[in-house]
Amino acid sequence: MMIKTASNSDQAGAIGVLTLAFSTDPMARWSLPDPAKYLAIFSSIAKAFGGNAFGKGTAYIADGFTGAALWLPPGAVSDEESLSRLFEENTGDDIKEDMHGIFEQMEKFHPTKPHWYLPMIGVDPAHQGEGIGSALLIEGLKAVDRDGLIAYLESSNPRNIPLYERHGFEVIGEIQSGSSPVLRPMLRKAR
């Protein structure tokens, strides 16, 4: 399986596969339960959350856009202002307060020392179980290990925890607010 660094011209395909992958994600669908609204704005959420990876050369895609991973190197951050605005404008009033609680808790778990952050990784549901997620993780972790740094992510889908654990990540807590699903912050020690 070929994993390559995504160029800016690959961005639409990478965001497209992430949109497919997260269409069954508990947190994504809790926050955006209406299918039409989810399809209309998820690409903007993905770009705000991990889009800086394209410019940094730390976005990866699998052959045929069957999977994508957006890694943020030390010092790179998500566009939190855009994320807040997108969720504020597109989530139901019944969960807005819970969303704020989730973002506050995410901030508390996010490492403060230099680290690599994996805000988004996903595989087309038609290709899950083929090792694509592992291949994407292995590629991204090469840079993490080269730098001798820790890596951090939040898993919004409990089915993915074993995959991350196989690659050295450990659950370090739980994030939950109101009616939300549980989000699990995970840390991988420096190697």
Please, are residues 146 and 179 in contact by the beta-carbon 8 Å criterion? no
* CA–CA gap between residue 109 and residue 22 (Å, rounded): 22
Q: What pLDDT shows up at residue 74?
A: 96
State the chain's mean pLDDT as an integer: 95
Q: What pLDDT shows up at residue 148?
A: 97
Residue pLDDT, tens place only, 68-121:
999 999 999 999 899 989 999 999 899 999 999 999 999 999 999 999 999 999
> Minimal CA–CA distance to 2: which of 70, 67, 72?
67
1 pLDDT exceeds 90?
no
Q: Which amino acid, one-letter code, is at 77?
A: V
* CA–CA gap between residue 41 and residue 32 (Å, rounded): 9
Q: Which amino acid, one-letter code, is at 28?
A: A
Structure tokens at 79: 């566009």
User: Phi then psi for 184, rounded to 5 degrees?
Assistant: -115, 110
* CA–CA gap between residue 12 and residue 112 (Å, rounded): 31
Backbone region of residue 126 per phi and psi (left: phi > 0; alpha: psi in -120 to 50; beta: other values): alpha
Q: What pLDDT shows up at residue 7?
A: 93
Q: What pLDDT shows up at residue 51?
A: 85
Domain that holds residue 108: 3-188
Domain CATH for 50: 3.40.630.30
Domain count of the fold of the chain:
1
> Minimal CA–CA distance to 34: which of 77, 94, 102, 122?
94
The distance of Cα 139 from the centroid of its chain, to the nearest Å, equals 15
Residue pLDDT, tens place only, 175-188:
999 999 999 999 99
Q: What pLDDT shows up at residue 97?
A: 92
In this prediction, residues 145-154 reach a mean pLDDT of: 97
Residue 183 DSSP class: B
